[in-house]
Amino acid sequence: MACLVINKSDEGCAGRVGTLLKEGKAGIIPCDTIYGLSAIAVPECGERLYEIKRRPQSKSFITLMSKEDATSSSLDIPSDIMDRWPAPLTAIVRDRESGLTHAVRVPSDSFIQEVLRISGPIYSTSVNFSGEKSLLTFSEIYPVFSSLVDFAVDDPSVAGGIASTLIDATVKPYRVIR
């Protein structure tokens, strides 16, 4: 499989990435924290991410979504968290319908916000094989993952980063996980 490389500065990049994700493609995209291995938030695309990442299915992915999608979802998101979004803050919340928990975030980066407007919610996880350290730069990521994904977005301004803060918002007081 040939990996399509897209430069983030290319005109229409967010639209192209949003469309690729909506088509069921998996890719590497820069986010407001670190690069993410991402695909649209549907079960079959999640399965592909598990395979790419070599991750046990007992460990779920973060779902990135627009604030509008978060507001209209069946997720029980506390208002004080909703008021802080968009931000590099991931919250574990409960789905009011199923009772299951989900890690969700509304990213602050305008590029990702535009992608999400087109694609809808996406799964995102750090770019690494399960149990290994995260790869933080495009030059580290591309040689390892280019044969495993459909596309990769190169953003020269991303030179590493810090993963989002992760809290469990299903308990009071909230518990900081990372």
Neighbours of 167 (CB within 10 A): 20
Q: What pLDDT does residue 162 have?
A: 76
Neighbours of 50 (CB within 10 A): 17
Tokens representing 139?
A: 């030059």
Q: What pLDDT does residue 142 have?
A: 96
Tokens representing 92?
A: 């574990």
Q: What pLDDT does residue 1 have?
A: 59
Tokens representing 74?
A: 């069946």
Tokens representing 161?
A: 């980063």
Whether pTM > 0.85 for this model: the answer is yes
Give dist(CA 128, CA 79) in Å, integer: 33
Give dist(CA 65, CA 50) in Å, integer: 20
Give the SS3 label for residue 155: coil
Residue 104 pairs with which residues in a beta bridge? 63, 91
Asked if residues 166 and 92 have their Cβ atoms less than 8 Å apart, the reply is yes
Residues in the chain: 178
Give one DSSP letter per residue of 46-84, joined into a string.
Answer: HHHHHHHHT--TTSPPEEE--HHHHHHSSEE--HHHHHH
Q: Side chain identity at 147, as an amino acid letter?
A: S
Asked if residues 92 and 144 have their Cβ atoms less than 8 Å apart, the reply is no
- pLDDT mean for each 10 residues of the chain (178 residues): 90 97 97 91 97 94 97 96 95 96 95 96 96 92 97 84 88 95
Q: What pLDDT does residue 31 have?
A: 87
